[in-house]
Amino acid sequence: MYFEVVIDESMIDDFVLGEGEKMELVEGGDLLVNRPVTPYDAFAVWLYSQKNRLLSS
């Protein structure tokens, strides 16, 4: 299960990083192809990116 939270990009400056080295906005495709990401997180991002295709079948 995952949740979608829609935010305005201007809200990013108010985010507080509590874990990890840095925080940045990235596109899902870039995350899946060009970034090191755990398999569990990659699967969640992939599911979200394919939601319309998966729900229509």
pLDDT digit string, tens, across residues 8-38: 989 988 999 999 888 888 888 899 999 999 9
Is residue 2's pLDDT more than 80? no
Cα separations (Å) of 30 from 3, 14, 36, 45? 20, 24, 10, 11
Is residue 1's pLDDT more than 80? no
Q: Torsion angle, CA of 21/22/28/34, rounded to 10 degrees? A: -60
The whole-number pLDDT of residue 17 equals 94
The whole-number pLDDT of residue 16 equals 94
Residues 6+ apart with CB under 8 A from 48: 2, 4, 28
The whole-number pLDDT of residue 57 equals 65
